[in-house]
Chains A and B, each alone.
Chain A
């Protein structure tokens, strides 16, 4: 027994040069966690925040009460979107290194979270993503060219050159403007959901943050407002273990699960295998129905692993074992769904190879088109005058003056 206080510093399981260690990760067998009624009270289903909802076992078989029984074509669509997301990420990261785009953030290993959730939600449900949810855009059918034009800040850039790459928005697709500041979207999604309830809409809102971002005060605001007003919202914490160099223990993951934050506010908390497409889909459907029928919000913790660097400005080899991702006990979301489909007799290595080739070609063709609208460095370029628009709805006199000053300046320079 300690007899005096001592500052506790969370341990990081493995650093560069050490062997990966995931012995601390609490797992439940596939199919083991019960599926309660959607009307259950948050405090009666605490086991959901403590266990780990899994459908796919290691052999690729779907088990238990959360098995969503999706038709094989729906599973194949999920696989296609995840694979497209990965190939898109991969290509954009390589292009960033060549200097055509200034910055990129990949989602390797986290594809199931965005893709399965987008497919479980309705198209009119409003999404408030973080910067690592490109799978939402892909699964909602956004043309890759539009995403690439944003990355290039070119003449077709939806953000008109104002945003860092990956900070997309898509009004028609019901995807909110992504912020570079952490967690700000979480309570905003709650406000959107409150408005849906006020206005009698039956759409729900969903938002995503990383486990590291749950440290910001906006996380508390989101859970509190969601609870107080029983907002029709799904709040997702993507626990990918790493906040740049900082292990999830520093976000409070050492003491309890992130899903367990929910019940403290009277919100259902569910901890799900984030690399299990079927489990993520099932849990999301459960939470969406709960929200849509007035039974209240849900906090979902997706247990996954950030296979990618934090961003193209980051080098994970400085702070974690180089091959850490390969040892992640929950595997790879694409491989696992592929394995399941093959077990069902609905997929094969040949079809997979053909799909990969088709999607690679799709990414390549989209890139070719996107660069024809300009790049950050090559013409055609956006008119710098655009910088002064949309600060306000109408440009006030001082900005009109500055716009004119810039024109004069550019005629000299």
Chain B
């Protein structure tokens, strides 16, 4: 299965198992979504379970909160993460705090799915990775899978979770793993072990990182598309890198991350999002606090530049293998 099919399967299973699950968003019903993730679901479950909505992200999130407060389990789609901001107030001020401010009397078990990330020539309005500004908000769980198996298991876990989950889908990974080299022929998920997805119900726990690749030279802490870019970059340098796929930014699996860094003594952190005050800063601070005496070299961050995502300079902006390799060489002191 590719990631689109895996996500579709998760939604299908949850719509089938739980009559409270509703799916709503722009173009997601009859059309099946601009990325086809909801294809066939309205036909199967009807227009009261799979709802096309007006183009109003604030309205979509707010309506999902109200539905959630009245016993449903809404899965809202925001068509691109770049379009989530009209819903930001509802997410930050309402969805994230409803349980807290009502002392547990009210809650809204809403999942917000949204495609994120670059590499598709989408320019600044179809390429952003805004996970950090959600991870910064108390009361939201934040998830980003890097492969179809995790995508399905994490989405089912997110829907079953009683807390709100912001679920980022790296759109460049929908059809296959991407190692950052745009000139290489596309690789399908069918050729990748994580593309093997069981048809039935299963979960991948929220709050658990994965060791995407074991190694002893250096730890690379990353998530989303960058998992694949980092693997390729480390391979290119002949390094045995241990690659930690964070998968869940909140709650963060500090144990898995720090155990690895304590073992390797070296760490590179990589994400597509802008660097300044990005999620990498949280990771670096945490690792420094927990692993300072194990570190052989300063932690390095690899990220997108601190500019809007520029259409014409996609591959100069994107933190590709060269940028990752440069950070790895510094951390490994290879150029000395």
Identify the stretch in B9-17, B25-33, B160-168, B216-224 within 8 Å (CB) of chain A at 4 or more residues: B25-33
Are the CB atoms of A181 and B34 closer together than 8 Å?
no
Are the CB atoms of A215 and B313 closer together than 8 Å?
no
| Contacts A157-B312, A215-B59; A391 near B306 (Cβ below 8 A) | yes
| B305-325 interface code vs A (CB 8 A; 1 in, 0 out) | 111101111001100101100
Does A351 belong to the interface (CB within 8 Å)? no
- The complex places the Cα of A218 from the Cα of B26 at a distance, in Å, of 17
Chain B interface, DSSP helix/strand/loop, else mixed? loop
- CB-CB < 8 A to B59: which residues of A? 215, 217
Minimum C-beta distance from B92 to chain A (A): 15
Does A246 belong to the interface (CB within 8 Å)? yes
Chain A 10-59 residues near chain B, CB threshold 8 A: 12, 15
Does B121 belong to the interface (CB within 8 Å)? yes
Minimum C-beta distance from A391 to chain B (A): 5
B86, B276, B308, B311: the one contacting A153 at CB < 8 Å is B311
| Contacts A215-B55, A217-B58; A410 near B316 (Cβ below 8 A) | yes
A180, A314, A387: the one contacting B82 at CB < 8 Å is A180
Minimum C-beta distance from A409 to chain B (A): 5
Does A325 belong to the interface (CB within 8 Å)? no
| Contacts A212-B54, A215-B59, A250-B54; A402 near B26 (Cβ below 8 A) | no
Identify the stretch in B101-109, B122-130, B132-140, B141-149 within 8 Å (CB) of chain A at 4 or more residues: B122-130
Are the CB atoms of A164 and B311 closer together than 8 Å?
yes
- CB-CB < 8 A to A164: which residues of B? 122-126, 311
B55, B125, B312, B317: the one contacting A213 at CB < 8 Å is B55
Chain B 266-318 residues near chain A, CB threshold 8 A: 275-276, 305-308, 310-313, 316-317
- The complex places the Cα of A232 from the Cα of B261 at a distance, in Å, of 62
Identify the stretch in B45-53, B201-209, B242-250, B251-259 within 8 Å (CB) of chain A at 4 or more residues: B45-53
- CB-CB < 8 A to A103: which residues of B? 121
- The complex places the Cα of A36 from the Cα of B107 at a distance, in Å, of 53
Are the CB atoms of B82 and A162 closer together than 8 Å?
no
- CB-CB < 8 A to A218: which residues of B? 86
How many A-B pairs have beta carbons closer than 8 Å: the answer is 130
Does A102 belong to the interface (CB within 8 Å)? yes
Does B212 belong to the interface (CB within 8 Å)? no
Does B157 belong to the interface (CB within 8 Å)? no
Q: How many residues does chain B have at the interface if contact means C-beta atoms less than 8 Å apart?
A: 42
- CB-CB < 8 A to A160: which residues of B? 312
Chain A interface, DSSP helix/strand/loop, else mixed? loop
- CB-CB < 8 A to A163: which residues of B? 123-124, 311
- CB-CB < 8 A to B316: which residues of A? 384, 387, 406, 410
- The complex places the Cα of A33 from the Cα of B241 at a distance, in Å, of 74
A12, A161, A180, A244: the one contacting B26 at CB < 8 Å is A244
The residue of chain B having its C-beta at the shortest distance from the C-beta of A408 within the complex is B326
Does A328 belong to the interface (CB within 8 Å)? no
Are the CB atoms of A181 and B83 closer together than 8 Å?
yes
B27, B82, B306, B323: the one contacting A246 at CB < 8 Å is B27
> Can you list 11 contacts pairing A with B, beta carbon distance less than 8 Å?
A163-B123, A163-B311, A164-B125, A216-B57, A217-B56, A217-B59, A244-B34, A246-B52, A246-B54, A314-B34, A384-B313
Q: Which residues of B contact A (CB under 8 A)?
A: 26-27, 30-31, 34, 47-48, 51-59, 82-83, 85-86, 121-126, 275-276, 305-308, 310-313, 316-317, 320, 322-323, 326
Which 3 A-B residue pairs are closest in the complex by CB-CB distance?
A: A161-B312, A180-B125, A164-B123
